[in-house]
Structure 1
Amino acid sequence: MQSLIETMVRPLVDFPDEVDVRVQEEDHKITYHLSVHKEDVGKVIGRHGRIAKAIRTVVYAAASHSNKRVYLDIM
């Protein structure tokens, strides 16, 4: 899942080397923490959060086979 998130986000940003995805796994949920360069945060979120919502939709659909709830946190 990390590589999927990185593959979607890297073309959107000006600093693709600073895209970092960390995983925090708990009993009933998995949280992916996406961090990008501070100048790229707006590009990843998009106007009115449209890009962030689209990224989350793809991630949640890809994780639908998992028994755990999946969250994507954009920092």
Structure 2
Amino acid sequence: MKELIETIVKPLVDFPDDVAIQVTEDDDRITYLLSVNKNDMGKVIGKQGRVAKAIRTIVYAAGSQQHKKLVLEIGE
């Protein structure tokens, strides 16, 4: 899943080397914290959050076979 997020996000940003993903796993959920360069935040979020929503939709669909809830958080 981490590779999928990187594959989606890296072409969108100006600083692909700054893309980092931290994974936290609990009993019933997996949280992915996506960190990008401060200058790329607007590109990852998009107008009215459309790009972020599209990324989340793809990630959630890909992870639907897992029996845990997936959460994608975007931060600096």
TM-score by length of 2: 0.98
Which aligned runs of 4 or more in structure 1 are off by greater than 2 angstroms?
A: none
Structure-2 residue corresponding to 1:50: 50
Give the number of aligned pairs.
Answer: 75
The alignment partner of 2:51 has SS state of: helix
Which residue of structure 2 lines up, in the alignment, with residue 69 of structure 1? Answer: 69
* Residue 13 (structure 1) shift: 0.3
SS of the residue 2:39 aligns to: coil
Hey, what does 2:40 align to over in structure 1?
40
Using the size of structure 1 for normalisation, the TM-score is 0.99
What's 2:19 paired with? Answer: 19
SS at match of 2:44: helix
Q: How far is the alpha carbon of 1:72 from its aligned partner?
A: 0.1
User: SS where residue 27 of structure 1 aligns?
Assistant: coil
Give the whole-Å Cα distance in 2 for the aligned partners of 1:29 and 1:57: 16
1:56 match: secondary structure: helix
CA–CA separation in structure 1 for the residues paired with 2:62 and 2:21: 16
